[in-house]
């Protein structure tokens, strides 16, 4: 039986509100489904946001009041998946935790929206999230199956650099791989988030579980990232998917852009030095509210049309930027037109053929401008030229089990660029084990041993 699937990564950036970002995620996933994508990866901190350039008023021995206000704003933008600070593991997955009186579920409804999007589109989702539990924030990645809902959730065990100011350390038990079967293909998948990929023992913990799909949501846009992804693929003999955001200064939340504490650089991924600003934070913190996405919350996600034979064999349509920042009810009123392989500014995307029958769809400039207007971005004035400063170039990619670059790296595409690798053969993972199985025949496990607290390293059944 053929062991082939179509996988994709979305180079999407966080929008001003959680509702807008969830609506954009739904639109992207609908478009992926129309193109026959089986599994889709979103970047690190896509929901909740990556606070690039912000130092939260922290220095050795002191924290400022302005920084505390920024943390309050960031805490309110994070999502609540209904988990505990320690991480409830299977009890969270199986919904066995107590629910507050008068509530239908734990958390703010984000989990339920993600599960509904996956179920309605048939696409397996892996989404980078900033999760709040108790009084702390965690950088996480959640695995969402179309049939069973959330199968598991990773929490980053070692935030990088200044990330440690605002992100707590996750439990290493969350490194547990999850399994699923899609179209008869058994997948064992796990995620290493951003610079966790520079931790050799952490990578080996995933290799030991015999993963054949290695996921790397990231915020790192350095030139060193692609060689690292190729190394992880070659070592693991697994397909590697990596998704990053492409971010300009204008995409940062106002509590960062208007702050005097914005400083050069970020903890991982920014290789550009932003300018310091003197303004102070003026926005007042808003009370956290439960996520509501109109039609999404009522089970009315627009149905995804079947791809045509031409779509299946020769092209993709990117998630239309016209959808970004709109409500789910707005999305239901739009239709998708066929995209020709030519540059056409009147259409929502431009199609670019790539090697090996893979394709990349890019949004048109006019669609990007409309998307920014609909997402709440303020009209651009000549004085705002600095807002276009590129802080993170992206660099999303898809790598084969032998280290071959199948797609990407995708640079400087910020609004919904989606890389799709069609009909990848998961039996290539076993073919690669002929000469290298780093957790088996090539491990010398009689001489070397790795133990991880709270984690069974044996491959899951």
Q: Report CA-CA distances (Å) from 385 to 57, 249, 270, 274, 319.
A: 26, 10, 19, 13, 27
By the 8 A CB rule, do 387 and 378 touch?
no
381 Cβ contact list (under 8 Å, min separation 6): none
Q: Exactly one of 31, 44, 235, 262 is catalytic; which is it? A: 44
DSSP 51: -
Q: 20 is written with which tokens?
A: 């807008």
> Beta 390-399 vs 359-363: how paired, if at all?
unpaired
In the annotation, is 194 catalytic? yes
By the 8 A CB rule, do 48 and 217 touch?
no
pTM of the model: 0.79
Concatenate the DSSP letters of all residues of 236-289 into one string: HTSEEEEE--EEEGGGS-HHHHT-TTB-S--SSS--S-PPP------PPPPPP-
Report the pLDDT value the prediction gives residue 123, as an integer from 0 to 100: 98
Q: Exactly one of 153, 156, 176, 374 is catalytic; which is it? A: 156
Report the pLDDT value the prediction gives residue 356, as an integer from 0 to 100: 57
Coil, strand or helix: which one is 214?
strand
- Residue carrying the six token digits 């209904």: 82
Which value, to the nearest 10 degrees, does the dihedral of the CA atoms of residues 424, 427, 428, 432 take? 160
Determine the Cα–Cα distance for residues 247 and 153; give it in Å rounded to an integer: 25
Q: What SS3 string covers 103-157? A: CCCCCCCHHHHHHHHHHHHCCEEEEEEEEEECCEEEEEEEEEECCCEEEEEEECC
Coil, strand or helix: which one is 83?
coil
By the 8 A CB rule, do 348 and 340 touch?
no
Q: Report CA-CA distances (Å) from 300 to 30, 94, 292, 304, 339.
A: 13, 25, 13, 12, 26
In the annotation, is 287 catalytic? no
Residue among 256, 254, 253, 249 nearest 270 (CA): 249
212 Cβ contact list (under 8 Å, min separation 6): 187, 188, 189, 237, 238, 239, 401, 426, 429
Note the pLDDT tens digit of each residue in 14-59: 999 999 999 999 999 999 999 999 999 999 999 999 999 999 999 9
Ranges under pLDDT 50 in the chain: 261-289, 293-295, 297-299, 302, 304-349, 351, 364-372, 374, 376, 378, 380-383
Concatenate the DSSP letters of all residues of 70-84 into one string: HHHHHHHHSB--S--
By the 8 A CB rule, do 257 and 277 touch?
yes
By the 8 A CB rule, do 247 and 392 touch?
yes
DSSP 57: T
Q: Exactly one of 54, 139, 150, 194 is catalytic; which is it? A: 194
Determine the Cα–Cα distance for residues 325 and 5; give it in Å rounded to an integer: 30
- With both helix axes pointing from N to C terminus, report the angle between 225-236 and 200-208 in degrees, rounded to the nearest 10: 30
In the annotation, is 343 catalytic? no
Concatenate the DSSP letters of all residues of 164-189 into one string: HHHBPPPPGGGG--EEEEETTEEEEE
- Residue carrying the six token digits 């780093």: 438
Report the pLDDT value the prediction gives residue 346, as an integer from 0 to 100: 32
Determine the Cα–Cα distance for residues 178 and 191; give it in Å rounded to an integer: 10
Report the pLDDT value the prediction gives residue 209, as an integer from 0 to 100: 97
């Amino acid at each position: 039986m053929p062991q082939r699937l179509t996988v994709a990564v979305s180079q999407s950036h966080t929008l001003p509100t959680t509702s807008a970002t969830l609506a954009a995620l739904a639109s992207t996933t609908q478009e992926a489904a129309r193109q026959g994508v089986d599994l889709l990866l979103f970047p690190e901190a896509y929901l909740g946001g990556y606070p690039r350039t912000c130092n939260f008023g922290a220095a050795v021995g002191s924290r400022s009041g302005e920084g505390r206000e920024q943390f309050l704003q960031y805490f309110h933008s994070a999502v609540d998946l209904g988990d505990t600070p320690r991480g409830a593991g299977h009890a969270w997955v199986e919904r066995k935790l107590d629910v507050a009186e008068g509530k239908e579920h734990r958390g703010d409804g984000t989990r339920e929206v993600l599960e509904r999007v996956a179920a309605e589109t048939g696409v397996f989702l892996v989404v980078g999230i900033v999760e709040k539990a108790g009084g702390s924030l965690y950088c996480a990645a959640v695995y969402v199956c179309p049939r069973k809902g959330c199968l598991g959730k990773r929490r980053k065990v070692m935030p990088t650099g200044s990330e440690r100011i605002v992100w707590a350390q996750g439990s290493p038990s969350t490194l547990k791989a999850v399994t699923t079967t899609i179209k008869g293909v058994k997948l064992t998948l796990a995620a290493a988030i951003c610079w966790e990929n520079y931790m050799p023992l952490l990578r080996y913990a995933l290799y030991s579980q015999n993963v054949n799909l290695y996921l790397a949501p990231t915020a790192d846009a350095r030139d060193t990232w692609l060689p690292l992804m190729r190394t992880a693929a070659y070592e693991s003999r697994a397909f590697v998917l990596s998704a990053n955001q492409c971010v300009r200064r204008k995409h940062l939340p106002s509590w960062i852009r208007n702050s005097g504490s914005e400083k050069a650089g970020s903890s991982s991924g920014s290789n550009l030095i932003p300018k310091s600003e003197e303004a102070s934070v003026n926005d007042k913190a808003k009370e956290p509210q439960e996520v509501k996405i109109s039609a999404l919350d009522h089970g009315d996600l627009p149905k995804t049309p079947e791809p045509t034979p031409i779509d299946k064999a020769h092209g993709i349509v990117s998630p239309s930027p016209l959808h970004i920042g709109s409500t789910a009810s707005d999305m239901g009123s739009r239709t998708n037109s066929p995209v020709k392989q030519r540059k056409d500014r009147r259409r929502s995307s431009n199609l670019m053929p790539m090697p090996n029958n893979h394709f990349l769809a890019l949004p048109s400039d006019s669609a990007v401008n409309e998307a920014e207007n609909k997402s709440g971005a303020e009209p651009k004035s000549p004085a705002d030229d600095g807002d276009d400063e590129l802080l993170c170039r992206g660099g999303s990619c898809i790598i084969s089990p032998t280290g071959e670059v199948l797609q990407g790296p995708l640079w400087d595409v910020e609004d919904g660029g989606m890389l799709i690798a069609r009909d990848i053969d998961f039996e290539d993972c076993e073919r690669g084990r002929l000469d290298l199985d780093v957790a088996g025949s090539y491990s010398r496990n009689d001489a070397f041993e790795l133990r991880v607290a709270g984690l069974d390293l044996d491959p899951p059944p």
